[in-house]
Amino acid sequence: MAKMTSLERVATALQRGQPDQVPVATLAITRALWEIGERPQTAIDDAEKMAKAKIAANENFGDDIVVAGIDGCFVEAKAMGAKNYWSKHMPIVDTRYRVIKSWEDVDNLTFPAPEEHPRMRTVIEEAGILMDKVGDHIAVAVIVSGPYSTACNLMGHESMFRAMVKEPEKVHSLLDKITDYSIKYHTAFKGRAHAVALLDPVASTEATSPKQHEKFVKPYLARDCDAIAKAGMIPINHPCGDTTGILQMAADVIPKGSPGAIHANYGDVKTRPLSLKFLKEVVGESVALDPDDPYSIMLKAVKKMVGDRVCVCGNIDPISVMLEGTPDQVRATVKRNIDYAAEGGGFIVMPGCDTNPDTPSENFKALVKAAREYGVYR
């Protein structure tokens, strides 16, 4: 097959097609700033610097996707009044301060126009610059928050967990408002991003039950994805953690017949008995488990379960392999990932989540090199 550009490769995979080779993303998102000698604290308000960093990381490591944004899980909540808190490298939401303390506060939420809110505007501009500079040949994605996780950031997680049982109607009306507003922000990337990745970490089964997922996550995320697809961009659903028990629903939010993807850690067969049970049910008792890599194997089950409907992304552990592993370990994990999930296309190899800024450059390079080496479709 003729060599494709990165963009063609990613677009083909997102449509569940088979490109020239398995596309690869390093997810050196926060870390990209280190490549130009900046830090999140010094660059976050400067769209030019942010875009420059992402392009530099892409050039140094040679992957197929650049990602706009950095605090993707938190921007919507911050626009609606949540307080910023600087952890070492990441501006997160301070969950000790609650925007919604009682249901009356829902009526007083503010929804600034995305172009007018400084943080939202910077991310929109960053994506625009990436699209102008490299978007003709590299895929541009942006990270944003799913409505459910945004609601948790506004209410505090425990309050949300309580309210879903005690006052479900109130939760629905809150989620409805958040979804309307999120859609305004997410569709503002029209023409500036090829794909929109919805980060929804609280929706994983470590925190939310499948029953709750069905009621409080899926319908709102589906509406969001639908709007993103209608705006001409490709939605990527990222429930972050364990997807055992919610995998079908997580794939269902991608509009039928449209391109789209799922990306998560999917589950840890070493410490989560339910993940292991799921894996064995789908793949069979004979699966060979690698004690040093409890994540990759889940790809096999995920591809089998939902690979006919959505593109599957993952699943290299950002900590034990990318941060703490050696380049050889990274290579071996990439090879396993490709063996498990590349067949027939519809697969992008990448870490299971954003990587830690201290991840060694050699590991990012090893990731891309191994993908290029093992990932060629013949």
Partner 1 sequence: MVPRLIKYIENLKQTLVEYDTEKAVELTDKALSEGASARFLISEAILPATKIIGEKYETGEYFLSELVLCGETLQAVMKPILEHLGKEVGKKEEEIGKIVLATVEGDIHDIGKNIVRLFLQGSGFTVEDMGVDMPAGKIIDKAVDVKADIIALSCLMSVTRDHVKDVVEELEKRGLRKDFKILVGGRSTNEKWAGQIGCDKWAADGPGAVEAARSLVGRGG
For ligand B12, the binding residues (CB under 6 A) are 73, 87, 90, 92, 95, 201-202, 204, 206-207, 240-242, 265, 318-320, 352-354, 356
- Of 245 and 260, nearer to partner 1 (C-beta) is 245
242 binds, among partner 1, ligand B12, none (CB under 5 to 8 A by kind): ligand B12
For residues 192 and 335, what is the distance between their CA atoms, to the nearest angstrom? 33
- Of 204 and 337, nearer to ligand B12 (C-beta) is 204
Residue 90 binds to partner 1 (criterion: CB under 8 A): yes
CA dist 241 → 175, 247, 266 (Å): 21, 11, 6
Best CA proximity match to 199, nearest among 241, 237, 230: 237
Cis peptide before 265 (omega within 30 of 0): no
Site for partner 1 in 323-342 (CB under 8 A): 323-324
> What tokens were used for 262?
């799922």
Residue 164 binds to partner 1 (criterion: CB under 8 A): yes
Q: Which residues pair with 86 in a beta bridge?
A: 91
List, in order, residues 6 or more apart from 157 with CB less than 8 Å away. 95, 202, 207
- Of 105 and 206, nearer to partner 1 (C-beta) is 206
Closest contact distance (angstroms) between CB of 246 and partner 1 is 12
Residue 6 binds to partner 1 (criterion: CB under 8 A): no
In the chain, where do the E strands start and end? 65-68, 84-86, 91-93, 139-145, 195-199, 234-242, 261-266, 311-316, 347-351
- Of 45 and 158, nearer to ligand B12 (C-beta) is 158
- Of 9 and 295, nearer to ligand B12 (C-beta) is 295
265 binds, among ligand B12, partner 1, none (CB under 5 to 8 A by kind): ligand B12
For residues 371 and 341, what is the distance between their CA atoms, to the nearest angstrom? 12
208 binds, among partner 1, ligand B12, none (CB under 5 to 8 A by kind): partner 1
Closest contact distance (angstroms) between CB of 273 and partner 1 is 8
226 binds, among ligand B12, partner 1, none (CB under 5 to 8 A by kind): none
Residue 286 binds to partner 1 (criterion: CB under 8 A): no
List, in order, residues 6 or more apart from 236 with CB less than 8 Å away. 14, 141, 195, 196, 197, 198, 260, 261, 262, 263, 313
**Buried (b) or exposed (e) across 230-260, using 16+ Cβ within 10 A?**
ebebbbbbbbbbbbbbbbebbbbbbbeebbb
Closest contact distance (angstroms) between CB of 116 and ligand B12 is 26
Q: What angle do CA 297, 300, 302 make, to 5 degrees?
A: 110
In 3-126, where do the E strands start and end? 65-68, 84-86, 91-93
Residue of minimal Cβ distance to ligand B12:
241
Closest contact distance (angstroms) between CB of 45 and partner 1 is 21
Which window, 16-24, 153-161, 220-228, 327-335, contacts partner 1 (CB under 8 A)?
Answer: 153-161
Closest contact distance (angstroms) between CB of 202 and ligand B12 is 5
209 binds, among ligand B12, partner 1, none (CB under 5 to 8 A by kind): partner 1
Closest contact distance (angstroms) between CB of 205 and partner 1 is 8
CA dist 29 → 39, 53, 238, 267, 338 (Å): 12, 9, 15, 22, 23
Sites of contact with partner 1 (CB under 8 A): 85, 87-88, 90, 92, 95-96, 156-158, 161-162, 164-166, 202, 205-209, 212, 271, 274, 319-320, 323-324, 356, 358
